[in-house]
Amino acid sequence: MSERRRRAVSLALAAWHRGLATIGLTQSERRIAADAQSFWSDRSDVDWKDNSHWADAPVFGEKVPWEEIGRRHLDMFRRGARMAGFDRPWDRVLEWGCGGGANAVHFAPHAKEFVGVDISTDSLLECEKQVKAVCDTPFRGVAVDVPAPEAALREIPGPCDVFLCLYVFEVLPTPEYGERILRLAHRVLAPGGLALIQIKYDEGRWLTRPRRRSYRTGPSQMTTYAIPEFWKLAARVGFRPEAIELVPENELDERYAYFFLTRP
């Protein structure tokens, strides 16, 4: 199937499932979380490496260089750090949803310790391999189960100075589940620390609303927020929102909003 045809089918499925959700035919968060756990644990899917951002994934090449993803995010983080007045050493950096290490290879060299959290143990091993290829920063991998993300806190060695969550919130089961991850981020971020969290934003059209059903047919379309909604949500859980950087479209997808959040 050609890329254009695959995209057309994906858009048609997205419209179909969002239409069903609009008339109330949604699935429970528990059902969606179980489907998400199965999806990210199943390496037999042809797009698994693409979705997990591994360096040898077919999607990455001249058009979307793997090395460029994390480099852009590091540059973005530095801009946000200047705006927020964040200039402390990075004793511990934690990335929730580290995948194959596209961000880790750029952030880990500046940290004393890098903690990668992911559903897939294969991705944790790949991320560790990529980090070891570029620096001597100790890497700690933490496996997380989708239905019980709070259990991962027992494996995280302590507060972090930098919290990263990129290309993850859009694949979370529901917006309500996203609030759980925000609360976890607030718990693990040290006072004065800086978080960079990216979401896919809702433009107010029914086609950009959360799907709330059929995870496997469109994981990157599952969870969206209106930009003011996410700002208020972050403040409600205890963060201080500092700034937002918008990327309406890039080579991978569209409607990205990057939030810089500090913990007072």
Helix, strand, coil distribution of the chain in percent, nearest 5:
45, 20, 35
Cα dihedral sign, 48-51-55-57: positive
Could you tell me which of 48, 43, 36 has the C-alpha nearest to residue 147?
36
CA distance 108 to 87: 16
The residues spanned by each domain of the chain are 3-262
The pLDDT score that the predictor gives to residue 17 is: 82
Output the CATH code of domain 3-262: 3.40.50.150
* pTM for this predicted structure: 0.95
Q: What is the pLDDT along the chain (264 residues), one digit of tens a residue?
A: 566 777 777 778 778 888 888 888 899 999 999 999 999 999 988 889 999 999 999 989 876 899 999 999 999 999 999 999 999 999 999 999 999 999 999 999 999 999 999 999 999 999 999 999 999 999 999 999 999 999 999 999 999 999 999 999 999 999 999 999 999 999 999 999 999 999 999 999 988 999 999 999 889 999 999 999 999 999 999 999 999 999 999 988 999 999 999 999
CA distance 155 to 141: 9
The answer for residues whose C-beta is within 8 angstroms of residue 31's C-beta and 6 or more apart is none
CA distance 82 to 241: 14
Cβ–Cβ under 8 Å, residues 257 and 208 = no
Burial class (CB in 10 A: 0-12, 13-18, 19+), 51: middle
